[in-house]
Amino acid sequence: MALRKESFWAKDLRPGEGISSTFLATDAAVRNDSRGVPYLSLRLVDRTGSVDARMWRLTSELRRGLPDPCYVRVEGQTHDYRGTLQVKIERLRVLGREEVEPQDYLPASELDREEMSREILEAGEELRNEHLRDLFLLMVSDEELWRAFCEAPAAKGMHHARIGGLLEHSVRCLRLARSVAELYPVDRDLLIFGAIFHDVGKVRELSWGEGGFSYTTEGRLQGHVVLGERLVGSYIARLPDFPEELALHVSHILLSHQGELAYGSPQEPKTLEALLVHFIDNLDARAEMYLESTRNVSAGGWSHHENALGRALFVPERPPEEG
């Protein structure tokens, strides 16, 4: 019988608490501590967030590791480990799929998705370039595409890895693009369109549903950059009066937004709009990586170095706000 997740949501955990709850276990690995004693390192995830966990005194079965991902029931204690919240697991049981409600364990944006989608729709309707506006309206009128765009995570784990994450990332990029457009002699409509849809290929690259986020076969073989450029190109092909040169610039933004060949872009940015979309995307992604990596770190503490940015991150003490 499937049971709804009880109390002890990840976002509510504090040091010094006893915990007995269910989670989705990810990134599970058996390692050895400084004494050579094996322990299980994993991440406990639910729809509100995640927390690092460790377990010693492993059974012979647990020494072989856990399926990744899998649902688990854990009992243990929360504590502060070098400024970071961590769970020390005393007991762990792997649960069957039939014992859980999967929607309780998929991280989801805490922001209002209807409000975010409305903000993007209004921005598209305000585009002055009639060709870009027609392209935008054609894309969002595709109910399947728009539903996926509003539901998809922005990544499997790097940043905005949550239901509605792609929408959240796109809204922030839209806001950044509006500010940047005031500073540089840029084609504002092209920049806005690129900021909104640079990652649209994620709707094909990723799958989201029971058991977490994963890559689709086409996502593994082609990646979101190529998938996004082809997807937008398929809508441009349905607009017979769409200018060829404008289509070329849209394509270049989509193909180059990762910035470097090593990061999956077939081309590096070679126009001002493409360069700015790349930096806007990178700014929001990396700021979010910092926020996610330090979510459970106390003021004055350091994160673990194993995170998306590949370094230990410091959370400074904030001076009290003046009344």
Question: Residue 277 sits in a domain of what CATH number?
Answer: 1.10.3210
Total number of domains constituting the chain: 2
**Domain identity same for 63 and 135:** no
Residue with tokens 């994620």: 202
State the Cα–Cα distance between residues 170 and 4, nearest whole angstrom. 31
**Domain identity same for 118 and 248:** yes
**Domain identity same for 164 and 275:** yes
- pLDDT reported for residue 211: 63
**Domain identity same for 278 and 248:** yes
Residue 322 lies in a domain: no
- pLDDT reported for residue 323: 52
**Domain identity same for 150 and 278:** yes
Domain CATH number, residue 43: 2.40.50.140
Of 72, 104, 136, the last residue of a domain is: 104
Do residues 219 and 241 lie in contact, with contact meaning Cβ atoms separated by under 8 Å?
Answer: no
**Domain identity same for 185 and 283:** yes
SS3 labels along 195-216: HHHCCCCHHHHEEEECCEEEEC
Residue 200 lies in a domain: yes
Per-residue pLDDT of the chain (323 residues; tens, 9 = 90+): 445 566 668 888 889 989 888 998 888 899 998 899 999 999 898 888 888 899 999 999 999 889 878 899 999 999 988 778 899 999 999 998 888 888 788 888 889 999 999 999 999 999 999 999 999 999 999 999 999 999 999 987 777 888 899 999 999 999 999 999 999 999 999 999 999 999 999 999 998 876 678 899 999 999 999 999 999 999 999 999 999 999 999 999 999 999 888 777 889 999 999 999 999 999 999 999 888 888 778 888 888 777 778 888 898 987 766 65
Do residues 311 and 305 lie in contact, with contact meaning Cβ atoms separated by under 8 Å?
Answer: yes
**Domain identity same for 56 and 194:** no
Of 104, 139, 172, the last residue of a domain is: 104
Residue 179 lies in a domain: yes
State the Cα–Cα distance between residues 94 and 55, nearest whole angstrom. 14
**DSSP code for 163:** B
**Domain identity same for 135 and 270:** yes
Residue 307 lies in a domain: no
**Domain identity same for 117 and 191:** yes
State the Cα–Cα distance between residues 135 and 239, nearest whole angstrom. 8
Residue 302 lies in a domain: no
**Domain identity same for 193 and 285:** yes
Residue 119 lies in a domain: yes
**Domain identity same for 149 and 247:** yes
101-102-108 Cα angle (round to 5): 120
Residue 319 lies in a domain: no
Domain that holds residue 245: 113-290
Residue 163 identity (one-letter amino acid):
I
Of 104, 125, 159, the last residue of a domain is: 104
Do residues 307 and 313 lie in contact, with contact meaning Cβ atoms separated by under 8 Å?
Answer: yes
- pLDDT reported for residue 2: 47
**Domain identity same for 132 and 259:** yes
Residue 258 lies in a domain: yes
